[in-house]
Amino acid sequence: MSFAVTEYCDVSERARALGINEPTGLALLPRNFVDANGASDLLHESSVQTVRSLFRQNRINETRIEKDGQKIPTIQENEFSLILPTLFVGGLILTGNPHLLSIALNVISNYATDFFKGITGRKKVELDVIVQNKNGKGSKKIHYEGGPEGLKEITEIAGKVFRDEKHD
């Protein structure tokens, strides 16, 4: 399992440039959020609808970046791994309700575990979590690749990234 933390764009500024809703709290970002030329070029991971459904079932509020009537198409990869949608975590979540991220990651981890039930061999999950900087300007990306069991470690890493502490 591996974690990598890198700089990421200012999500609010990028959303305004794309003409979509600015995310607050938790939001699912499209795969090509940083690189898309416009809203019509955005692509969600194929797992986005399942994650949204699980969030609703567990009463986890998500900020939709799509404006009313706007749809972002999904992309399907033909490899045997689970590529999850990018999860945006606004600074207010980490200061006001940090347990919400833990709950959301537990829901995603349980989904990933169920996804691989009965499958032998290597089980690869990919997830990017975008953590808004404490000052609300800019953000950092935590990229995770590994088995479903490692997803729960992201909560601690996200807290350290938000507090601008050293992370392993």
State pLDDT tens for residues 134-154: 887 889 999 999 988 899 899
> In this structure, what DSSP letter does residue 8 have?
E
Are 73 and 43 in contact by the 8 Å Cβ rule? The answer is: yes
Mean predicted confidence (pLDDT) in 18-38: 94
Q: What is the pLDDT of residue 98?
A: 79
| pTM of the predicted protein model | 0.84
Task: Express each pLDDT in 65-97 by its tens digit.
Answer: 999 999 999 987 655 688 899 999 988 787 888
CB within 8 Å of 30: residues ≥ 6 apart:
36, 42, 43, 44, 65, 72, 85, 86
The predicted structure's pLDDT at residue 79 = 59
Going by C-beta distance under 8 Å and a sequence separation of 6 or more, which residues neighbour residue 65? 15, 20, 21, 22, 23, 27, 28, 29, 30, 72
